[in-house]
Structure 1
Amino acid sequence: MSQHSSVAGASRPVKEAGFFTKIKNVACLKSSSSSDKGKGGKGKSKSSSNKVSHGFHLVEGQSGHKMEDYHVAEYRKRKNHTLGLFAIFDGHLGDRVPTYLKDNLFNNILEEPNFWKDPEAAIRSAYSSTDKFILDNSMQLGPGGSTAVTAIVVDGKDLWVANIGDSRAVVCERGSANQITVDHEPHAERRRIEKQGGFVTTLPGDVPRVNGQLAVARAFGDQSLKAHLSSEPDVRHVPIDSTIDFVILASDGLWKVSC
């Protein structure tokens, strides 16, 4: 994963101060004009009873690597419901896997037959089947992989967030920031990785890596490391009420580099 950052967010009209206000304004809700190093956009739900503004911003880092971050920020109508779909996919070893996720992961989730009755189970099932498809088609999609953080807003009332890897979701509630995703880092899952025949290296000046290669313990794709990786997401449900100010999704280029 290269040192680029991608941010997507959703917000209702509130007053906040500090770092997260700056991030929200730059990433989401101010001008969507772009430069040679960044691009962005914004929008607003049209039919939800709780009006939600959203936007995104992408910035290329100085590493010289090709940008491999992709995002989703859109609204759809399904069965008389309004769905806000937001995601960040941070790819590595090529952009074919994150591109596939951008185009297909939400479709796979929404096509799960039990999505409306059990969203968490549907999200878990879709993550698993999507990863299987990527692995089965590695000749076309390549050897790389991607982290993911996805958020589904249902009728402006319920937020379902899932992630694998180290892209995060943070909720600002009454002015306080709360991370609602889990950073799936190799040192935290060393026991599972070793039980599955892998190992975790920690070299001076470097982060822990699975088999000396990947800096996350969970990801889509990564055919050569899959025996030691997981694609099982952490899933959280957050009721949206008057205490929720905004939500930010971002790749590690924001959380671990820009900050």
Structure 2
Amino acid sequence: QPNLFGDPKKAMRNAYNSTDKLILENTRDLGRGGSTAVTAIVVDGKELWVANVGDSRAVVCHDGGNADQLTVDHEPQTERRRIERQGGFVTAIPGDVPRVDGQLAVARTFGDGNLKRHLSSEPDFRSLRIESNTEFVILASDGLWKVMNNEEAVNLVRNIKDPQVAARHLTAEALARKSKDDISCIVIRFG
């Protein structure tokens, strides 16, 4: 994307829009489903930009083990007004999570063409100055976050220096906790 480092927010927005469009245009080959996403850009080793749609999440560890969620989980209940303005509805059946049109448990995705008129692919953004006390960031799909909270994830890998080993450890732990969802995980260390 042009302006990747000059204007990370614009570059990420363009990339998200292009990705959604590409998925929707290729539904025949890719299938009718969709995906959530979380992405990060590190600018000059000094600034971290994250964007997400859906419930894929970025969590930063700083100050000796504090975990801060940098992203917003795009749940149907919190975006009910927008969904209803666009002609959709949110179900809340006892024993189940709220769903867009009774089907999808997230309010923002790539793809999902059959529900697209009620969904958004507009990402949320957050930037963070990388300080000397910023240790690492975890980027992961909901297959991880459904079985552990932010603090647990940070504590599980805080002492693992190799980011690939840390990501594999988180994935293995999510599987050991019987995660039923897809698990994607990346760890980026700073300093």
Runs of 4+ in structure 1 off by over 4 angstroms are none
**Letter paired with 1:234:** D
Matched, 1:188 2:78: yes
Is 2:58 the counterpart of 1:166? no
Aligned equivalents of 1:167, 1:128: Cα separation in 2: 17
Task: Compare the two structures and name the one with the higher strand fraction.
Answer: 1
Q: Is the 8 A contact 2:8 2:41 kept in 1?
A: no
Instruction: Measure, in 1, the Cα distance between the counterparts of 2:122 and 2:56.
Output: 14
TM-score (norm 2): 0.74
Select 1:148's aligned residue among 29, 37, 57: 37
Tell me by how many angstroms 1:157 deviates. Answer: 2.1
Give 2:67's match in structure 1, choosing from 172, 177, 182: 177
Aligned counterparts of 2:127 and 2:120: Cα–Cα separation in 1: 21
Shift of the alpha carbon at 1:155? 3.6
Match runs of 1:207-218 below 5 Å: 207-218=97-108
5+ residue gaps in structure 2? 150-191
Q: Give the distance between the partners of 2:5 and 2:144, measured in 1 at CA.
A: 33
How many residue pairs get aligned? The number is 148
Deviation at 1:168, TM superposition (A): 0.9
Cα distance, 1:244 vs structure 2: 0.4
Q: Is the counterpart of residue 120 in structure 1 residue 9 in structure 2? A: yes
How much does 1:164 deviate?
0.4
Aligned-residue sequence identity (percent) comes to 72
- Which AA in structure 2 matches 1:216? V
Cα separation, 2, equivalents of 1:147 and 1:115: 21
Q: Deviations over 1:92-122 (max 9, x none)?
A: xxxxxxxxxxxxxxxxxxxx22223211011
Structure 1 vs Structure 2 CA RMSD: 1.2
One-letter code aligned to 1:227: R
1:222-241 pair list within 5 angstroms: 222-241=112-131
- What is the deviation of 1:177? 0.9
The one-letter code sitting in structure 2 at the alignment partner of 1:203 is I
What is the TM-score normalised by the length of structure 1?
0.55
CA distance in 2: counterparts of 1:166 and 1:129, whole angstroms:
20
Task: Report the alpha carbon displacement of residue 160 of structure 1 after superposing the two structures with TM.
Answer: 1.3
Q: Secondary structure at the match of 2:6?
A: coil
What's the CA shift for 1:219? 0.4
Tell me the distance in 1 between the aligned counterparts of 2:38 and 2:91.
25
**Deviation, structure 1 residue 153:** 2.0
- Where 1:132 maps in the other structure, the secondary structure is helix
Unaligned stretches of 5+ in structure 1? Answer: 1-111
Deviations 1:210-257 (A, max 9, x none): 000000000000010000000000111112120201111122222222
Letter in 2 for 1:183: D
Letter in 2 for 1:144: G
State the one-letter code of the partner of 1:196: Q
Counterpart for residue 247 of structure 1: 137
1:243 is aligned with what amino acid? N
Distance 2:5 2:21 in 1: 23
SS class of match (1:178): strand
